[in-house]
Amino acid sequence: MNTTNIVVIAIVVVFFVLRMMPVKGVKNITTEELKNLLKEKDKQFIDVRTPAEYKSNHIREFINMPLHQLSMKAAELSKEKEVIVICQSGMRSIKASKQLKALGFKNITNVKGGMSAWN
């Protein structure tokens, strides 16, 4: 393997590692921890999957706000309340957490493993 191939592979690995790393200032919880929070009225529960995914299976307390619409719909959320974000596997909710952070939200929680980890 030549040096160019090694550099390209290293760049690709770094790219994927950075995309999967937790967002600074965003709390991560398990689905078990989520179960204890669902009754709390001072939280905002956001499901960033597509409407079709949401319709097929969702947690009652979560509202659907697809990732591609999040920046437009974020104005409907309170920056004063905690936002708990879920998706199918945890990847889109990490992206959503980054978007919310950039929009000035301070109290963001990502559900690790997403709906795939929900029992």
Task: Mark whether 27 is an active-site residue.
Answer: no
Residues with Cβ < 8 Å from 54, sequence gap 6 or more? 47, 62, 64
Q: What does the radius of gyration of the chain's CA atoms come to, in whole angstroms?
A: 16
Catalytic option among 46, 67, 87, 96: 87
> What are the residue ranges of helices labelled H in 59-119?
70-73, 91-102, 114-117
Which of 66, 56, 116 shows the shortest CA–CA distance to 89?
A: 116
So which residues are the catalytic ones? 87
